[in-house]
Amino acid sequence: MQKLHLVMGGRVKDPQGLEFVDLNAIDLVGVFPDYASAEDAWRSAAQRTVDDAEMRYVIVHMHRLLEPELPKA
pLDDT of residue 72: 67
Full-model pTM: 0.84
Give domain limits for the chain.
5-66
pLDDT of residue 67: 75
The Cβ of residue 56 has, within 10 Å, a number of other Cβ atoms equal to 20
Q: 5 with 38: CB under 8 angstroms? A: yes
Question: Which pLDDT band holds residue 60 (cuts at 50, 70, 90)?
Answer: very high
Q: What is the pLDDT of residues 26-53, one digit of tens each?
A: 999 999 999 999 999 999 999 999 999 8
Distance, in Å, from the CA atom of 35 to the CA atom of 51, rounded to the nearest integer, reads 25
Exposure string of 8-26, with b = 16+ CB inside 10 Å and e = fewer, is bbbebeeeeeeebeeeeee
pLDDT of residue 20: 95
pLDDT of residue 73: 59
pLDDT of residue 43: 97
CATH fold of 5-66, please?
Answer: Alpha-Beta Plaits (3.30.70)
